[in-house]
Structure 1
Amino acid sequence: MADRELDVRSEPPARRHDLILSTYEDLAQGEGFVLVNDHDPKPLYYQFEAEHTGQFTWDRLESGPEVWRVRIGRA
């Protein structure tokens, strides 16, 4: 089964983290989704590291300069 893609490029910046985190919360163990963003989501990584230490996976698939793709999973 292919991972769902969550493209947040058209979302208002203030809504993006909530949307991404709620998508993560809905995952079952071992599931993931591909985040598509218009900038490096490094601050989001730090938020996941602080709030979900050891409970998530983070795999960079594409690193700009216009599109960033990261697979985020529930470990």
Structure 2
Amino acid sequence: MSNAASVIDVRTIAPFERHARIFGQLDALAAGQSLQIVNDHDPVPLHMQLEGRAPGQFQWTYLRSGPDLWQIEITKKATAQAEDSCCSGGACCG
């Protein structure tokens, strides 16, 4: 699967549809894949909502920070579930 980022220019989306569309695309990402958001303001509320909804699961990187254009890359992190399990090679298995 490609790690190339999809891009959403949210300036072209009605405000009441923006977060739902972004979250739909973020939910579809595989670990390591990214989504880039282009906006006319710093999307701090989106960042806070994302952290509340999926804490620590995404990396948020500013590619451009205003004053007229913000571009953010949001990358889905690999889940730590398998790494944290004692059964991922640990002595408790078997």
Please indicate the TM-score interval, normalised by the length of the shorter structure. Answer: over 0.9
Match in the other structure for 2:43: 41
- Larger Cα Rg: Structure 1 or Structure 2? 2
Tell me the SS of whatever aligns to 1:65: coil
Match in the other structure for 2:55: 53
Given the alignment, which residue of 7, 12, 15 partners 1:13? 15
TM-score after normalising by structure 2 = 0.76
In the alignment, structure 1 segments of 5+ residues that lack a partner are none
Higher relative contact order (CA 8 A, sep 6+): 1
Distance 1:59 1:29 in 2: 16
TM-aligned CA deviation for residue 2 of structure 1: 3.1
Q: Which has the higher strand share?
A: 1
Distance 1:64 1:14 in 2: 22
The CA deviation string for residues 14-54 of structure 1, in whole angstroms up to 9 with x for no partner, is 00000111110010011001110111100100001111101
In the alignment, structure 2 segments of 5+ residues that lack a partner are 78-94
Q: Which aligned runs of 4 or more in structure 1 are off by greater than 6 angstroms?
A: none
More divergent stretch after superposition (1-10 vs 46-55): 1-10
Count of matched residue pairs: 75
Identity %: 41
